[in-house]
């Protein structure tokens, strides 16, 4: 009788091991690390943009002294975004994530206004420093869009793993602290079609 109990325990252990192997028990931490890496790339690109802003502002200042209000808004938006202390759980903290997203959107809006102002100054538009900075900024905005897309895809895979079976069961048993991550949203202003007037 003891022999059957031992054999049953061994067989149950083997069955459990086979089931766990089929469930990909490492999917949750693997997808979590992918999402963290993608988030780091998003932060990297936002930092790149933030580093370009002082040079852009100084170049525009030389030509557009009367546009001080716009220059001040760009500088203030950058300062607010760079002074924000991101908590370690920002990707799973909806309030902190939303605040971060709003600060970055404010920078984007201020930069858009600055570039519109720059169009009014023909000398500035032909200045090589300005053209180089404008090109760098355009490239950075494209990199931000790609980094955000990659982050959204990584979060989608991670959150799907946490919400579907068997990943849900594996996470509940082996990774009880795993929480769904936040993803980017689009503001209501950005959803409106641009109005072109001639």
Average pLDDT over residues 156-185: 92
Q: Are 118 and 130 in contact (CB under 8 A)?
A: yes
pLDDT per residue as tens digits for the range 66-119? 677 888 888 889 898 888 888 989 999 999 999 999 999 889 888 888 888 777
Beta strands in 81-132 (DSSP E): none
Predicted confidence at residue 150, as pLDDT, reads: 97
pLDDT per residue as tens digits for the range 39-73? 999 999 999 999 988 888 888 877 777 677 888 88
Residue 87's region, left for phi above 0, alpha for psi from -120 to 50, else beta, is beta
Give me the percent of the chain exceeding a pLDDT of 70: 88
Domains of the chain and any CATH numbers: 25-186 (1.20.1440.20)
20 vs 124, higher pLDDT? 124
Burial of residue 42, with CB atoms counted within 10 A of its CB: 0-12 exposed, 13-18 middle, 19 or more buried: buried
Question: Which is nearest to 40 in space by CA: 161, 147, 122?
Answer: 147
Round the average pLDDT of the chain to a whole number and report it.
Answer: 84
How far is residue 150's CA from residue 145's CA, in Å, rounded to a whole number? 9
Q: Which residue has the tokens 């999402």?
A: 35
How far is residue 19's CA from residue 12's CA, in Å, rounded to a whole number? 10
If pLDDT is split at 50, 70 and 90, which confidence band does 158 have? very high
pTM, whole model, 2 decimals?
Answer: 0.77
Predicted confidence at residue 13, as pLDDT, reads: 75
68-83 and 27-63 are packed helices; what angle lies between their axes, rounded to 10 degrees?
150
């Amino acid at each position: 009788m003891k022999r059957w109990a031992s054999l049953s325990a061994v067989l149950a252990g083997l069955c459990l091991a086979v089931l766990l192997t089929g469930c990909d028990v490492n999917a949750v931490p693997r997808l979590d690390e992918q999402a963290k890496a993608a988030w780091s790339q998003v932060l990297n690109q936002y930092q790149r943009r933030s580093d370009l802003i002082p040079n852009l502002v100084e170049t525009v200042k030389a030509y557009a002294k009367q546009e001080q209000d716009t220059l001040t808004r760009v500088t203030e938006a950058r300062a607010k975004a760079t002074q924000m202390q991101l908590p370690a759980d920002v990707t799973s903290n909806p309030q902190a994530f939303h605040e971060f997203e709003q600060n970055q959107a404010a920078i984007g809006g201020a930069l858009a206004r600055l570039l519109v102002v720059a169009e009014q100054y023909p000398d500035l538009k032909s200045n090589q420093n300005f053209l180089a900075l404008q090109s760098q900024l355009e490239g950075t905005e494209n990199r931000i869009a790609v980094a955000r897309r990659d982050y959204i895809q990584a979060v989608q895979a991670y959150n799907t793993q946490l919400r579907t079976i068997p990943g849900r069961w594996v996470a509940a048993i082996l990774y009880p602290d795993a929480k769904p991550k936040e993803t980017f949203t689009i503001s209501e202003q950005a959803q409106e079609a641009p109005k072109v007037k001639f």
